[in-house]
Every structure is written in C-alpha cells, then in structure tokens.
Chains A and B, each alone.
Chain A
C-alpha cells in the first residue's frame, strides 16, 4: 500500500477524527455512569491520536507518531489512577453514578 495517501485526502481523516471526538464529548455529557465517561475520554484521546498519525503520514514527519506514544502513556496512567478513584467512590457511595457526588455543586 505505497500510494494509500494518493486516494484519500487528509480532509477525510480530519472529519473522521472530528466525528469520533464529538461522539466522545456527547458521551461525557450524556451518560451518568462514571465508567462510561472514562471510556468516552479514551475515545477522545484516540480521535486525537488518529489525527496525529494521519498528519505525520501526510507530512512525512515522524514526530507526530512519537507524540502518539506519549498520549498512550498519559492515557494508561489516567486509567490506572481513575479506576482506583472509581473503586474508592463505589466503596463509599455504593454506586458509580456521578450525580451522587454533588457536594461541589454551587
């Protein structure tokens, strides 16, 4: 597949990433389950990763793909800490519904 970038304009990848990112945003706003919200954050990070890989391929620069590694590192660390916090929340409130945690509400 040497000439894959000949047939596909980069705009298609931009629109695909925008769609995936907006689905992630919609999930964060739409769902009340904290686990689903975490998964939607992962989805947004992946949309950005896809766009970075596409740009690095179309512009012939390796740095974009290296940055995807760092995004993966941050995502893995975030999930480890976030799920530990989620376990603590569940232990204290017996649910993963974010509406039960409304003490910070004004």
Chain B
C-alpha cells in the first residue's frame, strides 16, 4: 500500500467519524468542535489532491471565520447545555431510513460508473495560486465581481436582521 493510500484512509476515517459525532452529540459546542475537526480532515484531502491554496483558504474561511461565528452565536444564546427536549422516536427513525435510502441510491447509481482519466490530468500544478489566479481573473472575472455584490447584500441583510426593533 502506498503512503498516499494510508493518508487517504486516515483522513477519510477522521472526517466521517467526526461528521457522525456532529449529529450525535447533544451539546452544540461539541458539535461545532467536531465540525472543525471534519474541516481540517477535508483540508488534508485538499493537500493530498495538490490543491494547496484551496486548503489554506478552506481553513481560514471555515475554521477561522464561519465556525467562530457559530461559536459566538452559541455563546450569545447561552446554549451550552442539552436543551433539546426528548422527542418522539418516529421522526428520528424516519430520518435515518430516508438518509439510508438516499445513500443506497447514490452508491448503487455510482457503482457502475466508469470514469476515464484525461491525458491532461498529468499536469499536477493546477492547484497552485499561480494558475488558479489566472483562471479566476480571466475566465471568471464577472462572477467574481458579482460575488462581491452578493457579500454586500448578505452583510446589509445580516446587520438589518440582527438590529433590535425600536417600538
């Protein structure tokens, strides 16, 4: 077995296990911390796939910004305890069954799929910031600019929503 295969199995195991712990842990703070572990494992996968810039961006954006935002909200709402009341078991069983059926369908669908590699795949430098920046600022210039408008709209919406109403 190659070293990369060991790394793949280790990172996949960590990612799937901590993703399961996100939904099984009752404490929201623990869920956030497990989700950060999952994101680090996915960043490791990005490194394995030779997408170094994306791995760094992923850690900065997800572990650095989004999950900190989640932690702040949990802290402000004071949810650091198991407030989830005990509910009926029927919706949970239905949830497990439907998610299992979805997974079975996807796996059965993808089982016979043949994926052929193109000859261009030998070029392993596509994940570097050099080639990524060229494509982003040449081919995807307009979507890049429009995404800044989306950010502005999201920022205005968040400020407006979280403002206290004045009666």
- Considering only residues 46-65 of chain B, those with a C-beta below 8 Å from chain A are 46, 48-51, 54, 57-58, 61-62, 65
- Considering only residues 72-106 of chain A, those with a C-beta below 8 Å from chain B are 72-81, 83-88, 90, 95-97, 99
12 contacting pairs across A/B (C-beta < 8 A): A4-B48, A5-B49, A15-B110, A18-B110, A25-B102, A36-B23, A62-B135, A77-B150, A80-B69, A80-B154, A81-B158, A87-B77
**Pairwise interchain contact A19-B103, C-beta atoms closer than 8 A:** yes
- Considering only residues 105-126 of chain B, those with a C-beta below 8 Å from chain A are 106-107, 110, 113, 115, 117-118, 120-124, 126
| A74 closest partner in B (C-beta) | B150
The 4 tightest CB contacts between A and B, nearest first, are: A29-B95, A60-B120, A77-B154, A26-B99
Q: Which chain A residues lie closer than 8 Å to B48 at the CB level?
A: 1, 4, 8
A103 → B minimal CB distance (Å): 19
Give which listed residue, A3, A72, A77, A84, contacts B58 with CB less than 8 A: A72
| A56 closest partner in B (C-beta) | B126
Give which listed residue, A10, A21, A25, A68, contacts B115 with CB less than 8 A: A10
Q: Which chain B residues lie closer than 8 Å to A69 at the CB level?
A: 54, 57, 136
Q: Which chain A residues lie closer than 8 Å to B28 at the CB level?
A: 33, 35-36
- Residue interface mask B85-113, A partner, CB < 8 A = 1: 10100011011101110110011001001
Q: Please report the total number of B residues contacting A with Cβ < 8 Å.
A: 84
**Pairwise interchain contact B99-A22, C-beta atoms closer than 8 A:** yes
Q: Which chain B residues lie closer than 8 Å to A33 at the CB level?
A: 28, 79, 84
B8 → A minimal CB distance (Å): 5
Asked, given contacts A20-B15, A81-B157, A87-B162, whether A57 binds B151 with beta carbons under 8 Å apart, the answer is no
- Residue interface mask A48-73, B partner, CB < 8 A = 1: 01100110111111110110111011
Q: Which chain B residues lie closer than 8 Å to A60 at the CB level?
A: 118, 120-123, 126
